[in-house]
Amino acid sequence: MSRRATVDTVIGQRIRDRRELAGWSIRHAADRAGIAASTWSRIEHGRISADSRATLAAIAQALRCPVADLTGLPADPVGRDRIETGGALYETIRAVVDADLDCRPDGSDHASDPLPALTRELDLVCDLRARCEYVSAATRLPALIRGLHRATFGSERDRALQALVVAMDTASFVVRYAGHPGSACLVAERTRQAAETLGDPVLLGLATWSRVHAALGMGLLPRARQLAERGVHDLRNCTNAPAGAEMYGQLLMTQAFTLFVEGRTEDSLEPVAEAQAIAARTGESAALRLMFGPTNISLWRISMEAGGADPDRAVEIARHTQPQLVDSVSRQFAYYADTGRALARTGKDQEALRMLLTAERLGPQRMRSPLIAETVRGMLDRARRGTGWTELRGLCERLGLGH
């Protein structure tokens, strides 16, 4: 295998190390997590993949550590890609730190780029993010963020703030998916600062959305749920505002997702049902580039069920979902990746491989997810030479997994 970033320790080994450090037996640890001791043992020994968000959340709570301590962070790109990605992200984060609305930027008294030019650039960066072209987006974000920051001290303050909220939201996802979830939390807080300065309830909802996803990227499930619940409460009476219904619907789905992953599946049903009712009114909407609508709700449900107790349910939803109805490569990636994970958990490895290879084609950088790596590692452990063997080995190498 060529030299590249590797998943240095599988999740099961990290779980075993944590348990042994606590001095607990498998049975005691499993009881704390509310799962069978046999399941815990099989995860530790790599006999089943630890790629269920709900199971990982229960294990992390039992071991009193963040989920990210068990999964590790996404594998870094390597070689020239690593240098290019690292440089772009460094400059993006510098620009975010510098874009403090409490501080007038150097040179703000001088003319900045016209706001129409900045908003056109913002549209381009948002398109790059939606196409999973994170490095290209990151190379353009620093100048865009600095330009919008300067513009907030100009004559078109409110329009500049609106654009800055969207730019910071975009940056938080770019930074997270490029492998820096901790920095994404910082960026999301800048999203909130801009939204609070503007005072627009819908954009405050977008800032909450950014913060929820940043918390999820760090495995902070209780915080993500609390933020989502607060966002739903704050936006409940603003659904008649432009993009208000779509933003409210997306926050409902993030609330449902966090509840589901925490094991509160019954509690997750109500926000899903409410979001579905809203989607029936909005249809497939591109408002705020959230791509809210019936199809996106199905994508959320696939993601939830793929790591739940009944992955067959995710497969069934996927078979009746047309991901191309959502005009976002990023969301289409989620469909193929999550359906692939669900298929692998039901023993349909050949179908899973086809789904994961499609996901890789759509979003190669997002394939570095520890959960996807764990799914593929499990598939490799079960594999025998034959149909799909070469493709599976190739995927493992690209993900940095030994074989």
Q: What is the pLDDT confidence band of residue 7, given thresholds at 50, 70 and 90?
A: very low
Residue 54 domain-assigned? yes
Compute the average pLDDT of residues 126-147. 95
Residue 35 domain-assigned? yes
Cβ–Cβ < 8 Å for 11, 375: no
At 60, which CATH number?
1.10.260.40
Place of tokens 């400059």: 91
Residue 362 domain-assigned? no
The whole-angstrom separation of Cα 303 and Cα 76 is 24
Q: How far apart are the first and last CA of the chain?
A: 8
Cβ–Cβ < 8 Å for 295, 284: yes
Report angle CA 125, 128, 130 to the nearest 5 degrees: 110
The reported pLDDT for the residue numbered 111 is 54
Residue 49 domain-assigned? yes
The count of structural domains within the chain is 1
What are the CA-CA distances from residue 49 to residues 56, 185, 304, 341 (Å)?
Answer: 11, 28, 17, 10
The whole-angstrom separation of Cα 261 and Cα 158 is 38
Q: Give residue 41's domain range.
A: 11-71
Q: Which residue has the higher pLDDT, 59 or 179?
A: 59
Report angle CA 60, 63, 65 to the nearest 5 degrees: 60
SS3 state of residue 130 = helix
Q: Provide DSSP, 210-242.
A: HHHHHHHHTT-HHHHHHHHHHHHHHHTT-TTST
Q: Which residue has the higher pLDDT, 121 or 391?
A: 121
Residue 65 domain-assigned? yes
Picking from 218, 308, 241, 240, the residue whose alpha carbon sits closest to that of residue 272 is: 308
Residue 96 domain-assigned? no
The whole-angstrom separation of Cα 49 and Cα 370 is 11
Residue 45 domain-assigned? yes
Please check the confidence at residue 245 and state whether its pLDDT lies above 80. Answer: yes
How far, rounded to the nearest angstrom, does the alpha carbon of residue 369 sit from its chain's CA centroid? 9
Picking from 371, 400, 401, 403, the residue whose alpha carbon sits closest to that of residue 79 is: 400
Q: What is the pLDDT of residues 76-129, one digit of tens each?
A: 554 445 556 778 899 999 999 999 999 998 765 555 679 999 999 999 999 999
Residue 211 domain-assigned? no
Q: Which two tokens stand for residue 19?
A: 């348990």
The reported pLDDT for the residue numbered 173 is 96
The reported pLDDT for the residue numbered 81 is 55
The whole-angstrom separation of Cα 133 and Cα 136 is 6
Q: Which amino acid is at 9?
A: T
Please check the confidence at residue 235 and state whether its pLDDT lies above 50. Answer: yes
The whole-angstrom separation of Cα 196 and Cα 94 is 22
DSSP assignment, residue 104? P
Picking from 224, 302, 177, 190, the residue whose alpha carbon sits closest to that of residue 67 is: 224
